[in-house]
Chains A and B, each alone.
Chain A
Amino acid sequence: MTMTRATTQRILLPLVGLLAVLAVWTVISQTIARDLPSPARTWDESRRYVLEPFFKDGEMNQGIGRLAFYSLVRVGKGFLLALAIGTPLGFLLGLSRAFHLAFDPIIQFLRPISPLAWLPLGLVIFQKSEPAAIFTIAVCAMWPTVINTAAGVRSISPDHLNVGRVLKLSRWKMLVKIIVPASLPYVFTGYRLSLGLAWLVIVASEMLTGTPGVGGFLWQEYNSLVYSHILLSVVTIGAIGFALDRLMGVVEARFRSA
């Protein structure tokens, strides 16, 4: 089998990029930041966490697969909560001018607030770290869903709405048959961005609540001076974030072409 030049480049060049980053990392760990473990040392000290991803020695000493699973479940709950609140909110904003005028300023005001600010508030409201973490994820992650859904509703072609008007469809039929399917591509773009944000927030919320997961592990290992495990966590977080985005990209593309 012969590979075309383009395919070779597509496989080879990312490897070159990866090697370059590893090289820079090695140089930094040998020179300006001598506390930073080199790639080789990081792998050496993390080997067991990766090769036996599901071992469990204690609450905060578990394989990386297990830790990632805890984080994913938490993000999943927060993300679903964000969709459950954000989607109807987005449709209301897009459909009703009055609702838009009433709530758009508040949304623009709440949107830039950092997860670090929401988390203590969540702890005050729920008194427990787990619901506080989920609350924080949801409240930070829902905005792209809200805004994209509203934009999707507003961008529906007037021709498509006229089809419904001429047939005198009921409000419900209009929503189910025309407005919702017409805005789905935008809605799913919102979902993809929301999932990205939810994953971004998990680390902050686990750090502050000390709950077991990749972010909690990262913070604990920093406090225990096991710096190689910080890097292990960082790589894991990046890999999972990348995979989630790709996954949602596939889902989104399906709705875009429909």
Chain B
Amino acid sequence: MAYLELRGLEKSYVTPRGTTRVLGGVDLTLEDGDFVAIVGYSGSGKTTLVSLIAGLLRPDAGTIVLDGAPVTEPDPERGIVFQQYSLLPWMTVFENVALAVDAVNPALGRTERRRITDELIALVNLTPAAWKRPRELSGGMRQRVAVARGLATRPKLLLMDEPFSALDALTRATLQDELLRIWGERRSTVILVTNDVDEAILLADRIYPLTPGPGAVLGPAIDVGLSRPRERRHLSLSPAYQKARQGIVEFLRACRRGAA
């Protein structure tokens, strides 16, 4: 049995103007330690898919099984980094991360939980800002806090929903590099959802295109044949990079032509 298995996930939304079928039978299989990316156009149902895997939404049909257990509700074993950070504005950086650490480690003593929280904040290079509130931070710093919070529960699966799309290009590049470094240290299983093909190639082992909706499904996986650790500088010149990029872009373009 695979580590994570999605089978025939379907989800529709009922609106006053009728029913919109967002996902039309999504299948996905992941092994422990995989880093995969799901790439699709805006509005194709990426966030819906993340919400289903997180357990925040219930599918109309289909099943999700993680590590042998069916997913029916949200759980700290599935961490999420939201697109809009979703930090609690009345809490400091430390408190935002500590909320997650404390939630999953009720048996540990206060000093031990504090140590774990400090460690996570150090991991995302925010120790000097630990006592600031989110509104005092830049977008990039806020998203680092969200990453630290996502990792704080030591999740079996980390879901990232367009985590860097609200950031400017330079900050985005820095955070992508940091994510590579952090993943190198922690090796958790990650699903990164993005509309940025280059980001997907830089970070993931495998990329699934999500066809444009309605009734979106995942296209065939494209393996990123790049060795790790990866260096942004050399990446765009390598043939493997060119091949992966071409594969995804052409698939998504073909879908769009077919639909139009």
Residues of A within 8 A of B (CB): 157, 159-160, 162-163, 165-169, 173, 177-178, 181-182, 184, 258
Across the interface, B56 reaches (CB within 8 A) one of A166, A168, A184, namely: A166
9 A-B pairs with the lowest CB-CB distances in the bound complex, closest first: A159-B86, A167-B103, A181-B90, A165-B74, A166-B74, A258-B90, A167-B76, A163-B86, A167-B100
Residues of A within 8 A of B89 (CB): 258
Determine whether the beta carbon of B88 is less than 8 Å from that of A168.
no
Chain B 119-146 near chain A by CB (<8 Å), digits 1 or 0: 0000000000000010000000000000
Across the interface, A167 reaches (CB within 8 A) one of B82, B91, B104, B133, namely: B104
Residues of B within 8 A of A168 (CB): 74-76, 103
Determine whether the beta carbon of B88 is less than 8 Å from that of A167.
no
Residues of B within 8 A of A177 (CB): 88, 99
Given pairs A162-B82, A166-B75, A167-B99, 5 additional interface contacts (CB within 8 A): A162-B80, A166-B76, A167-B153, A182-B88, A258-B90
Q: Which residue of A lies closest to B79 (CB)?
A: A166
Q: Does B84 contact A (CB under 8 A)?
A: yes
Interface residue ranges of B85-102 to A (CB < 8 Å): 86, 88-91, 99-100
Q: Does B9 contact A (CB under 8 A)?
A: no
A-B pairs with beta carbons under 8 Å apart, 18 shown: A157-B86, A159-B82, A162-B80, A162-B86, A166-B54, A166-B56, A166-B74, A166-B79, A166-B80, A167-B99, A167-B103, A167-B153, A168-B75, A178-B88, A181-B91, A182-B88, A258-B90, A258-B133
Determine whether the beta carbon of A166 is less than 8 Å from that of B78.
yes
Known A165-B74, A168-B74; contact A181-B88, beta-carbon cutoff 8 A = yes
Residues of A within 8 A of B54 (CB): 166
Determine whether the beta carbon of A160 is less than 8 Å from that of B74.
no
Residues of B within 8 A of A184 (CB): 90
Interface residue ranges of B57-81 to A (CB < 8 Å): 74-76, 78-80
The CA-CA distance from A256 to B84 in the complex, in Å, is: 20
Residues of B within 8 A of A157 (CB): 86
Give the Cβ gap from A185 to chain B, nearest Cβ, in Å.
Answer: 10
Q: Which residue of B lies closest to A170 (CB)?
A: B103
Give the Cβ gap from B213 to chain A, nearest Cβ, in Å.
Answer: 22
Give the Cβ gap from A197 to chain B, nearest Cβ, in Å.
Answer: 27
Residues of B within 8 A of A258 (CB): 89-90, 133
The CA-CA distance from A58 to B22 in the complex, in Å, is: 79
Residues of B within 8 A of A169 (CB): 103
Residues of A within 8 A of B103 (CB): 167-169, 173
Residues of B within 8 A of A182 (CB): 88, 90
Q: Which residue of A lies closest to B95 (CB)?
A: A177
Residues of A within 8 A of B86 (CB): 157, 159-160, 162-163
Q: Which residue of A lies closest to B80 (CB)?
A: A166
Across the interface, A163 reaches (CB within 8 A) one of B88, B90, B133, namely: B88
The CA-CA distance from A167 to B88 in the complex, in Å, is: 13
Candidate in A167, A177, A258 with the most chain B CB atoms within 10 angstroms: A167
Give the Cβ gap from A55 to chain B, nearest Cβ, in Å.
Answer: 48
The CA-CA distance from A177 to B98 in the complex, in Å, is: 12
Q: Which residue of B lies closest to A258 (CB)?
A: B90
The CA-CA distance from A168 to B79 in the complex, in Å, is: 11
The CA-CA distance from A181 to B91 in the complex, in Å, is: 9
The CA-CA distance from A173 to B104 in the complex, in Å, is: 13
Residues of A within 8 A of B78 (CB): 166
Residues of A within 8 A of B76 (CB): 166-168
The CA-CA distance from A177 to B103 in the complex, in Å, is: 11
Give the Cβ gap from A100 to chain B, nearest Cβ, in Å.
Answer: 24
Give the Cβ gap from A243 to chain B, nearest Cβ, in Å.
Answer: 28
Candidate in A166, A178, A184 with the most chain B CB atoms within 10 angstroms: A166
Q: Which residue of A lies closest to B85 (CB)?
A: A159
Across the interface, A162 reaches (CB within 8 A) one of B56, B99, B100, namely: B56
